[in-house]
Structure 1
Amino acid sequence: MEDRPTSPGGIVGILLAAGRGTRFGSNKLCHPLGDGTPVAVRSAENLRDALGEVLGVLRPEDSVLRGHFDDAGVPYVLCPDAGQGMAATLACGIRATPRASGWIIALGDMPYIRPGTIAAVAAAIAEGALLAAPFVDGQRGHPVGFAAPLRDELLALAGDEGARRVIVAHKEQLHRIDCDDPGILADIDVPDDVRP
């Protein structure tokens, strides 16, 4: 796996897009939004708009999503271990960006997060926060930012709960970003979740 360049601030957006989305009935990450953009591509574009640097992590067999990412100019790595859960997908993205000073971890099925919210999370990491997350109405949302000192803990995760264990272990150090962005809580699980 080649070493990926990092953004000027050294913070990279990692888009986890290797899930199967079985409740949706088809590949939800490829489902078109109102303007025709696939769900995961919009999620990646929001990261790119905020950070400049984004890397998708995809299942090797998902040739349709790879095609959408290629068409949109979104770089990606293939995660052969994606079937082991979200932690394996996250670790794949972290390993592909070893020079990063931090990561903004976003989910492929959350296309409604505003780039400004993502930028605020990245700014908190750039300013020295160990981890940062947006909150709306008291609820923590996505994406979550992690500084480079958490790299080994992120790589040690297993299963399908993502980085929750790292967040809980460092909850006292979590930099809270209050916002009015409902997109931080809005994921797409079923077709009715797609906005017109």
Structure 2
Amino acid sequence: MVTAILLASGFSKRFADDKLLMDFSGKPVIEYTMEAISHADVSEKLLIQRDHTYTDLGNKYGFQSIKNTKAKLGQSQSLLLGVKHCPENQAMMFFVADQPLLTTGIINKLITTHRENPEQIILPVINGQDKNPVIFPAAFRPALLEVTGDQGGRSIIKAFPDKIKRVAFDDPLCFTDIDTYSDYQRLLSEKTYLD
């Protein structure tokens, strides 16, 4: 069993507006990620956010919304909330909310790999670079609860290199996240082209 944890309490510091609500070919950026997760083989769906900005969208796709009142302390606070609200016996699949071209097929491939390697951290890779989303087995719950600052789960990945199962993918677009307005424009043009 896998719980999807959608991390959406960042501050979009390199983006003038709330990038997750930017129109992306007819829907907000975050809605594409929610939709892909909602069709995937996950048992629970958690949405971690600073306020209630995305609650209505989350409800539409069956997410339980959790308010992060300590977002200023870094990404670790979102991660901790996700872990604490995840059933203790379930693996945790962490998503960033600004990958609008991520597909249900990719998510399910990672989940299948997790089921085949239940003790391993499952990590997608493009051209040798680690990407998101990442699956942590339930056994990593104590280690994840010790994470601080703005690292997220990267410190755990570095600490357990022998516990990593990397899954190679070919299409970098599906894993591209939106950090800047130029990223948004480029990815939007790619989406329009693909449509």
Q: Which residue number in structure 1 is paired with residue 58 of structure 2? A: 69
Partner of 1:110: 99
2:33–2:97 Cα contact (<8 Å) kept = yes
Equivalent residue runs for 1:20-169 within 5 Å = 20-34=11-25, 36-52=26-42, 53-60=44-51, 63-127=52-116, 128-169=118-159
Output the CA distance in 2 between the equivalents of 1:108 and 1:137.
22
**Aligned partner letter, 1:160:** D
What TM-score, normalized by structure 2, do the two folds share? 0.86
Mapped contact 1:13–1:103 kept (Cα < 8 A): yes
Quote how far apart the aligned CAs of 1:66 are.
Answer: 2.4
Q: Which moved more, 1:142-151 or 1:94-103?
A: 94-103
State the aligned residue count: 184
For residue 178 of structure 2, what is the aligned residue in structure 1?
A: 188
Q: Deviations over 1:145-196 (max 9, x none)?
A: 1000000111110111111000011122210111123145411112232314
The CA RMSD measured in Å over matched residues stands at 1.7
DSSP-derived class of the 2:156 partner: helix
2:47 counterpart SS class = strand
8 Å CA contact retained: 1:55, 1:77: yes
**Identity across matched positions, percent:** 28
Partner residue of 1:4? none
Give the CA deviation at 1:68: 2.9
Tell me if the contact between 1:117 and 1:134 (Cα under 8 Å) persists in the aligned partners: no
For residue 98 of structure 1, report the CA deviation from its aligned partner: 2.5
Aligned mates of 1:112, 1:90 — CA distance in 2: 22
Does the 8 Å contact 1:104/1:121 carry over to 2? Answer: no
Shift of 1:99: 3.4
Is the 2:38–2:61 Cα contact (8 Å) retained in structure 1? Answer: no
Letter in 2 for 1:16: L
Q: 1:86 to 1:132 in 2, by over 3 A?
A: same
TM-score using structure 1 length: 0.86
Distance 1:143 1:109, change over 3 A: same
- Map of 1:179 onto structure 2: 169
In 2, Cα distance between equivalents of 1:45 and 1:54: 11
The superposition leaves residues 44-69 of structure 1 with CA deviations (integer Å, 9 ceiling, x where unpaired) of: 22122223432111112xx3322332
2:4–2:37 contact (8 Å) kept in structure 1:
yes
Distance between the aligned counterparts of 2:21 and 2:57, measured in 1? 8
